[in-house]
Amino acid sequence: MRDFLSGQSEADRDRFLNGLSPNALAALPWLFEHWALEGHQLPPEGDWTTWVILGGRGAGKTRAGAEWIRARVEGACPEDPGECSRVALIAETLDQARDVMVFGESGILRCSPPDRIPDWQASRRRLVWPNGAEARIFSASDPESLRGPQFDCAWSDELAKWPKGQATWDMLQFGLRLGTRPRQLVTTTPRNNALLRAILADVETVRTAAPTSANRMHLAKSFLETVTRRYAGSRLGRQELDGAMLTDVEGALWTWPMLEAARTPRPLELTRVVVAVDPPVSAGEDADECGIVVAGVARDGHPKDWIGEVIFDGSVKGATPTVWAARAVELFHRFKADRLIAEVNQGGDLVSTVVRQVDPLVSFRAVRASRGKAVRAEPVAALYEQGRICHRGAFPALEDQMTAMSVNGFTGRGSPDRVDALVWAMTELMIEPAESWREPRVRGL
């Protein structure tokens, strides 16, 4: 409906609205299925038990939860029964359940049309609809309060920060035993939380997700501009704004806290810069990415005092050899690099040939991998652990690959081409020079 109206001229909109009956016009604001944001606010199709909405701050999760509860408990007319009649509303605390899920700006009371507004009975901590359906609020700090009650529907809000999450969730599952198909909704900003990971991994779970920006029309412009400027690309921003689920793999060579610690407030005074390339085997939409990373090093004194810096991730996907070679050479000149490095295990002499075709004078070095990816990456990861490599800003796609690289290999999708390029760059700048470094002799001794 929103898209339909926005696509009409003012005259056509007026004609459409004037053609509605008084009842239809009065009902229009309450027809959420016509106003919902596409992709995350409406329940997915299918035979699922748990629906998880992962969203950034202000993405519309609470509104989606309140409207889903309405859709479950309301009938065709105010006093007609709906699909569900016994609902559990769980938040971190009772105050949050009441203030956000019930009375909030996007809570159940604000979302209900005048003839269907449920009655809030404070002494019993429950909502009662005109058709007799009930919703009780619970605190995730008190799992035992869920022992005994029975439900056919539940809404769990901000589950990722529940203080006693697992125990509360377990008690809720035992209570979801009424009706023919009990279902539950989880609305939360994602965190690296064992309970949330387990719920998402369940075969009966479906998920939808959206960033904060998806709901921009209902947010203050200054808020969105400010938080985007301050946090875009950072781990906190990807979690709180993008609604991304950031997890650390078991045995990961890089963790998110490690990468957050690597952010540098200002560029380093670099003594050397290189562009490293990990070429794909093929080209096209289904091909792996061509990893292209620009990095530098500030060398001062002993190798233990050297600091490396990731400057730019220029990786490209689906590119032909000519395209990725041109991209690498362009970055070589843009960042005034000393050398362009490329792995030649797959392409052999073709790699250097295509680079020379783009720029015959570029300083080029071919490198060949003789060890596995994880083994090659470990010395570079150790430099991160020592605080000796920093990032000039945030590189989400590269960092996703880094945190998916474990001692047992890459656990992400496809090939870790960006990580490979990073490893080749830091090996050239820090690992190999340090291995061959000798204390300078004092002249005359």
The tens digit of pLDDT for each residue in 308-358 reads 999 999 999 878 889 999 999 999 999 999 999 999 877 667 888 999 999
**pLDDT(394) > 90:** no
pLDDT confidence band for 442 (50 / 70 / 90): very low
Q: How far, in Å, CA of 158 to CA of 335, rounded?
A: 44
Residues contacting 225, CB < 8 A, separation 6+: none
Q: Are strands 153-157 and 86-91 parallel, antiparallel or unpaired?
A: parallel
Q: How far, in Å, CA of 259 to CA of 265, rounded?
A: 14
Q: How long is the chain?
A: 445
Helix axes 165-175, 194-201, angle to 10 degrees: 40
| 11 backbone dihedrals φ, ψ, rounded to 5° | -65, -40
* Three-state SS letters, the chain: CHHHHHCCCHHHHHHHHHCCCHHHHHHHHHCHHHHCCCCCCCCCCCCCCEEEEEECCCCCHHHHHHHHHHHHHECCCCCCECCCCEEEEEECCHHHHHHHHHCCCCCHHHHCCHHHCCEEEHHHCEEECCCCCEEEEEECCCHHHHCCCCECEEEEECHHHCCCHHHHHHHHHHHECCCCCCEEEEEECCCCCHHHHHHHHCCCEEEEEECHHHHHHHCCHHHHHHHHHHHCCCHHHHHHCCCCCCCCCCCECCCHHHHHHCECCCCCCCCEEEEEEECCCCCCCCCCEEEEEEEEEECCCCHHHCEEEEEEECCEECCCHHHHHHHHHHHHHHCCCCEEEEECCCCCHHHHHHHHHHCCCCCEEEECCCCCHHHHHHHHHHHHHCCCEEECCCCHHHHHHHHCEECCEECCCCCCHHHHHHHHHHHHHHHHHHHCCCCCCCCCC
pLDDT, greater one: 214 or 360: 360
Question: Is 0.75 topped by the overall pTM?
Answer: no
Q: How far, in Å, CA of 433 to CA of 305, rounded?
A: 13
Do the Cβ atoms of 275 and 335 come closer than 8 Å? yes
Which of 153-167, 218-232, 302-316 shows the lowest per-residue confidence on average (mean pLDDT)? 218-232
pLDDT, greater one: 242 or 166: 166
pLDDT confidence band for 4 (50 / 70 / 90): very low
**pLDDT(17) > 90:** no
> What tokens appear for 392 in the block?
């000039």
Per-residue pLDDT at 130: 95
> What tokens appear for 442 in the block?
């004092």
**pLDDT(169) > 90:** yes
Percent of the chain with pLDDT over 90: 47
Burial 40-67 (b: 16+ CB within 10 A, else e): bbbbeeeebebbbbbbbbbbbbbbbbbb
> What tokens appear for 206 in the block?
């479906």
Do the Cβ atoms of 404 and 246 come closer than 8 Å? no
Tell me which residue of 281, 340, 289, 338 sits closest to 316, measured CA to CA.
Answer: 289
409 bridge partner residues: 406
Which of 195-209, 254-268, 276-290, 332-346 shows the lowest per-residue confidence on average (mean pLDDT)? 276-290
Phi-psi region of 202 (alpha: psi -120 to 50; beta: other; left: phi over 0): beta
- Average pLDDT of the chain? 85
Do the Cβ atoms of 165 and 201 come closer than 8 Å? no
Do the Cβ atoms of 81 and 129 come closer than 8 Å? no
Percent of the chain with pLDDT over 70: 81
**Which tens digits make up the pLDDT trace of 47-76?**
999 999 988 777 788 999 999 999 999 998
Q: Span 158-165, mean pLDDT?
A: 90
**pLDDT(392) > 70:** yes
Q: How far, in Å, CA of 51 to CA of 205, rounded?
A: 6
How many C-beta atoms lie closer than 10 Å to residue 239's C-beta?
Answer: 22
